[in-house]
Amino acid sequence: MDASPTLSRAHTTPVRYIDGILCLDGLPLDQVVAGVGTPAYVYSLDAMAANLVRVQQAFAPIGGSVSYSVKANSNQAVLARLAALGAGFDVVSGGELSRVLDVGADPARTSFAGVGKTDEELLLAVRHGVLVNVESADELDALQRTAAAMGRRVRVGLRINPAVTVATLAPMQTGSARAKFGVPTDEARELVDAFVAGRYPDLEPVGVHMHVGSQVPEPGGMVRATEVLLDVLEYGQQAGLAGFRRLDIGGGFPIDHGGESVPGPEEFAAALAPLLRGRDDLELFLEPGRSIAGPAGVLVARVLYRKHRPGRRMLVLDTGMHHFIRPALYRTSVHRILPVREAPSAGPTEVVGPVCESTDTFSEDAQLPDLVPGDLVAFLDAGAYGMVMASNYNTNRRPPEIAVEGGSHRVVRPREEWRDLYASEG
- Taking CB under 6 A as the criterion, which residues in 223-252 touch ligand PLP? 250-252
* Piece of the chain touching ligand PLP by CB under 6 A; list 272-280, 284-292, 304-312, 371-379: 284-292
Which is closer to ligand PLP, CB of 195 or CB of 253?
Answer: 253
Q: Is 356 one of the annotated active-site residues of the chain?
A: yes
Among 121, 202, 256, 287, binds ligand PLP (CB under 6 A): 287
What single-letter DSSP state applies at residue 86? Answer: T
Among 56, 161, 214, 349, binds ligand PLP (CB under 6 A): 214
DSSP reduced 3-state for 164: coil
CA torsion sign for 35, 36, 40, 42 is: negative
Strands 131-134 and 154-159: parallel
Q: Are 400 and 414 in contact (CB under 8 A)?
A: yes
The nearest distance, CB 209 to ligand PLP, in angstroms, is: 7
Instruction: Spell out, one character per residue from 56 to 85, where the chain touches ligand PLP: x when CB under 6 A holds, - when not.
Output: -------------x-xx-------------
Q: Are 130 and 97 in contact (CB under 8 A)?
A: yes
The nearest distance, CB 54 to ligand PLP, in angstroms, is: 13
Q: Are 24 and 42 in contact (CB under 8 A)?
A: yes
Select the residue whose beta carbon is closest to ligand PLP and give its number: 251
Among 25, 46, 90, 135, binds ligand PLP (CB under 6 A): 90
DSSP reduced 3-state for 326: helix
The nearest distance, CB 211 to ligand PLP, in angstroms, is: 4
What single-letter DSSP state applies at residue 46? Answer: H
Residues whose CB falls within 8 Å of the CB of residue 371, separated by 6 or more in sequence, listed in order? 303, 306, 315, 339, 349, 377
The active-site residue, picked from 1, 170, 197, 356, is 356
218 HSE (CA, 13 A, CB side): 4
Q: Is 288 in the site for ligand PLP (CB under 6 A)?
A: yes
Q: Is 113 in the site for ligand PLP (CB under 6 A)?
A: yes
- Taking CB under 6 A as the criterion, which residues in 248-277 touch ligand PLP? 250-253
Q: Tell me: cis bond preceding 39? Omega within 30 of 0 counts.
A: yes
Catalytic residue list = 356
Contact residues for ligand PLP, defined by CB under 6 A? 69, 71-72, 90, 113, 211, 214, 250-253, 287-291
